[in-house]
Amino acid sequence: MHFVSLIASERKKGNSDCLSRLALKEALKNGADSGELLYLSDFKIYECQGCMECVFKGKLCKLDDDLYELLGKIRDADVLILIAPTYILSVPGSLKLLLDRYLTMPAYFGYTMDKSAVSIGIASLPDWHQFQLPIMNLLLLCMGFRVMDSFIAYGAGQGEVLLGDGVSKLKKSVEKLCRDRKITPFRSQLSRGNGFYFKAEDLNSHRWLLQNVRDHFDNWILKTKDRFKERLTNIYRKKKELGLE
């Protein structure tokens, strides 16, 4: 069994990287024969041009980038974990670029890949990642994976994610992914008939109002630096404990 973690973060040694390396260690403990960490930033992925030749002519995409090299590595995975940080309630642009190339994926994968995957979003605060997991799961579904688990792990500074319950959640997910690959898939938020909507009261008191933006910057973002420094000793201790130095 070949385990692959796809990391959609530009920051190596950041929170997504820490959980990915831990996931690889856990996969090897739980029956994986081999494993690989794929950093999306190492692959040049161009924006879809909407020519539709992949749809109407069944051709592979004409763009000269690294898309098929990446898809080949994903295809080789028996199980996969997708890990990405949250940028403005949603996924990084690099992951959205990959999702936008979906129409060419069936011409490459076919429609029978039927493998298992887990999605893990990294966020700093609860209620600041509404679009994260739905879009990550959409990408996995587009590539033919069955989503076996999906959750948010919290951490702002590099390595802070190791101090929360994300570590225990990841270990359980990797064990389930590697040992029970045919169990009932996780219920996705992308079922037909479900969508995103905004209540009337939310439109009149949303997070992007000037006072709310200032409050978020002053009382969260600007304070994360000192908070991170205070937690560095515990982060280093936890990395040593988990063998991630």
d(CA 207, CA 230): 28
193 pLDDT more than 50: no
Q: What is the pLDDT of residues 50-104, one digit of tens each?
A: 888 887 777 888 999 999 999 999 999 999 999 999 999 999 999 999 999 988 8
- Would you call 207 helix, strand, or coil by DSSP? coil
Q: What is the DSSP letter of 40?
A: G
Instruction: Compute the distance between CA of residue 111 and CA of residue 105 in angstroms, rounded to an integer.
Output: 9
pLDDT top residue among 189 and 199:
199
From CA 178, how far away is CA 29, in angstroms rounded?
10
pLDDT at residue 184, rounded to an integer: 53
Sequence-distant (6+) residues with CB within 8 A of 143 are: 71, 74, 105, 109, 113
Question: Mean of the pLDDT values across residues 198-223?
Answer: 70
pLDDT of 237 > 80? The answer is yes
Q: Sorting pLDDT into bands at 50, 70 and 90, what band is 223?
A: confident
Q: What is the pLDDT of residue 110?
A: 64
Number of Cβ within a 10 Å radius of residue 140: 24
Beta-sheet strands, E only, within 44-186: 79-85, 115-123, 145-154
Residue 191: pLDDT band with limits 50, 70, 90: very low
Contact at 8 Å (CB) between 132 and 153? no
Instruction: Report the mean per-residue pLDDT for the chain.
Output: 85
Q: Which residue has the higher pLDDT, 168 or 194?
A: 168
The CATH code belonging to domain 2-198 is 3.40.50.360
In the chain, where are the structural domains located? 2-198
Q: How many CB atoms lie within 10 A of CB 195?
A: 9
Are the beta carbons of 11 and 43 closer than 8 angstroms? Answer: no
